[in-house]
């Protein structure tokens, strides 16, 4: 599997809603097939998950130390 | 179990439940003694707290409202229970303070926060329509800024004390409410003898309702500003279904309790000066959108450790003091010899709304990340 380039990674840690969702949508709309989103609150995790699922994407979540990595794929 | 509960509260039924409970409790609190069409109003109640502490001396609006204390502590309890309490801060606190101040000045031009706008509607006060239209307009302006890269920047994890200051402050206020000491002759703690501040449910009732709402709202992220913003920004109706549930539940409960009085002129603790009902809420809506949450949401965030939201809350309390000390807050319609005298804003109040809009626009344009 090709390693993920940096522009596939959205670092939304510390940003309050709706910014994590806006950044995720921008990344997905730019045509990326696989986007990784880093967030540091459950609220952002749920918001990004909901927005991505609404766009028909699959979402996998990994938790590490109060931070979450969402792997979003088309 | 905790995970399933979290998924439920994050679902559409979760947010509808929270909205419905808030609507029902607001109507019941009014029945239990809170002011008419003001079973709950975050802005008004923070203003009453500012008055109780003597930060302003408007004698009619001074009372340590236990609902506000309950909102924060309920959110703290829920956040601790679900391991979500996290001290964090550092995202442009002084800007948030200013946004809080002007949000309050705008809300007091209309005489209510978004929650009360919905509750006034559910009580038959049609002035709320203009308030809600203004709120939507203000949020729509905020959305344009968000789309063009507006950001107050990141917050960072902080020492636990940062997160605990607000909950402990609320415990302190609760102690003051319970013991009601008199710090000097004719000094605080003040409690209105007449006017809206004198109308309140019993302390335990208010506190319990506040705690329950705090818990539910923390779990569901109930937010009236986010509700409108998400619809405009991305057609997402999740949060707004909570707001809709709140109006419907309050309306039904009000109908059952005989608390609906349809009209425009002479509505309780409201004025029918249309331009300023609208403009005041444009300012409030824009300030909430730029700060990322309605006044209720900011309280719940401050309860779960968000030091930036706490600064916004303090800004709102300072804004309430400013509004009443400088005669910026609206005067409600009054009935003089059987004739309704239309209330509204002083020239200072009008000027303050205009200045607030200018400052918020400046913040919106200047706090942008270049991408």
The reply to whether ipTM tops 0.90 is no
Pairwise CA distance, residues B220 & B12, whole Å: 9
**Residue among B155, B226, B292 minimizing CB distance to A14:** B155
Do the Cβ atoms of A18 and B229 come within 8 Å? yes
Q: Do A18 and B88 touch (CB under 8 A)?
A: no
Looking at beta carbons, which pairs linking A46-50 to residues 24 or more positions away fall under 8 Å? A46/B10, A46/B221, A47/A17, A47/A18, A47/A20, A47/A21, A48/A12, A48/A20, A48/A21, A48/A24, A48/A72, A50/B10, A50/B236, A50/B238
**A61 has a chain B CB within 8 A of its CB:** no
pLDDT tens digits, one per residue of B288-345: 999 999 999 999 999 999 999 999 999 999 999 999 999 999 999 998 888 999 999 9
Contact residues, chain A, for B221 at CB < 8 Å: 43, 46
DSSP conformational letter for B91: S
Distance CA B120, CA B37 (A): 5
B96 close to A (CB below 8 A): no
Closest CB to B86: pick one of A17, A25, A66. Answer: A66
Q: Residue A43: which CATH number?
A: 3.30.110.40
CA nearest neighbour of A45 among B221, B152, B241, B232: B221
Report yes or no: A13 at the B interface, CB cutoff 8 Å.
Answer: yes
Q: Whole-model pTM?
A: 0.96
pLDDT average, residue stretch B179-186: 91
Contact yes or no for B292 and A54 at CB 8 A? no
> Is the model's pLDDT at A5 over the cut of 60?
no
pLDDT in tens, B337-371: 889 999 999 999 999 999 999 999 999 999 998 65
Q: CB contact, 8 Å: B148 with chain A?
A: no
| A16-43 pLDDT, tens digit each | 989 999 999 999 988 888 999 999 999 9
pLDDT confidence tier of residue A1, bands split at 50, 70 and 90: very low
Instruction: Give me the mean pLDDT over the B31-41 stretch.
Output: 98
The nearest CA of chain A is from the CA of B113 a distance in Å of 20
Q: From the CA of B156, how many Å to the nearest CA of chain A? A: 6
Count the domains in chain A: 1
> Does residue B359 sit at the A interface (CB-CB below 8 Å)?
no
Q: What is chain A's Cα-based Rg?
A: 11
Joined together, the tokens standing for residue B70 give: 């309950």
Question: pLDDT, tens digit, for every residue of B259-273?
Answer: 999 999 999 999 999
Test the B interface: residue of A10, A13, A19, A20 with most B CBs within 10 Å: A19
Partners of B336 in the β-ladder? B339
Alpha helical stretches, state H, chain B: 2-10, 12-31, 42-52, 66-81, 93-110, 114-122, 127-147, 160-179, 203-220, 224-234, 238-257, 274-291, 295-303, 307-325, 347-366
Asked if A51 lies within 8 A of B226 by C-beta distance, the reply is no
Q: How many CB pairs under 8 A join A and B?
A: 49
3-state secondary structure A4-71: CCHHHEEECCCCCCCHHHHHHHHHHHCCCCEEEEEECCHHHHHHHHHHHHHCCCEEEEEEECCEEEEE
Taken as a whole, chain A contains a residue count of 74
Contacts of A43 (CB under 8 A, 6+ apart): A17, B221
User: For A42, which residue in chain B has the nearest alpha carbon?
Assistant: B84
Q: Given an 8 Å threshold on Cβ–Cβ distance, is B154 in contact with A15?
A: yes
pLDDT of residue B371: 56
Smallest CA–CA separation between A3 and chain B, in Å? 24
Q: Cα–Cα distance between B250 and B256 in angstroms, integer?
A: 10
Domain containing A61 equals: 4-73
| B132 Cβ neighbours under 8 A, 6+ residues apart | B114, B117, B118, B121, B281
């Amino acid at each position: 599997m090709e390693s993920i380039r940096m522009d596939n990674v959205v670092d939304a840690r510390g940003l309050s809603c709706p910014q994590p969702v806006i950044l995720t949508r921008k990344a997905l709309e730019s045509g990326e097939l696989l986007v990784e989103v880093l967030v540091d609150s459950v609220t952002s995790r749920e918001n990004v998950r909901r927005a991505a699922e609404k766009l028909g994407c699959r979402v996998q979540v990994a938790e590490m130390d109060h931070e979450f990595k969402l792997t979003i794929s088309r | 179990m905790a995970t399933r509960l979290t998924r439920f509260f994050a679902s559409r039924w979760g947010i509808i439940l929270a909205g419905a409970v808030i609507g029902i409790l607001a109507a019941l609190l009014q029945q239990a003694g809170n002011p008419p069409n003001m079973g709950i109003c975050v802005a008004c109640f923070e203003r009453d707290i500012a008055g109780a502490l003597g930060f302003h001396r408007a004698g009619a609006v001074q009372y340590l409202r236990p609902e506000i204390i309950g909102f924060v502590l309920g959110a703290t309890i829920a956040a601790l229970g679900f391991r979500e309490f996290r001290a964090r801060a550092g995202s442009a606190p002084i800007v948030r303070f200013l946004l809080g101040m002007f949000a309050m000045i705008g809300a007091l031009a209309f005489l209510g926060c978004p929650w009360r706008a919905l509750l006034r509607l559910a009580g038959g006060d049609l002035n709320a329509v203009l308030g809600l239209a203004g709120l939507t307009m203000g949020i729509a302006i905020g959305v344009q800024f968000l789309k063009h890269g507006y950001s107050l920047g990141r917050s960072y994890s902080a020492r636990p004390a940062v997160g605990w200051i607000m909950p402990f402050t609320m415990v302190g206020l609760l102690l003051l409410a319970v013991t009601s000491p008199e710090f000097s002759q004719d000094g605080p703690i003040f409690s209105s003898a007449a006017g809206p501040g004198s109308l309140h449910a019993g302390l335990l009732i208010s506190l319990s309702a506040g705690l329950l709402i705090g818990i539910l709202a923390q779990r569901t992220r109930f937010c009236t500003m986010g509700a409108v913003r998400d619809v405009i920004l991305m057609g997402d109706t999740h949060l707004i279904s909570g707001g809709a549930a709140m109006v419907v539940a309050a309306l039904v409960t009000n109908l059952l309790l005989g608390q609906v009085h349809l009209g425009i002129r002479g509505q309780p603790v409201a004025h029918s000066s249309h331009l300023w009902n609208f403009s005041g809420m444009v300012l409030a809506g824009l300030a909430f959108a730029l700060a990322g949450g309605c006044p209720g949401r900011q309280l719940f965030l401050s309860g779960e450790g968000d030091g930036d939201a706490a600064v916004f809350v303090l800004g709102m309390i300072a804004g309430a003091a400013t509004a009443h000390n400088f005669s910026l807050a609206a005067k409600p319609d009054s009935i003089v010899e059987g004739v309704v005298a239309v209330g509204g804003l002083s020239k200072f109040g009008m000027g303050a709304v205009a200045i607030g809009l200018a400052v918020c626009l400046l913040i919106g344009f200047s706090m942008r990340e270049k991408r």
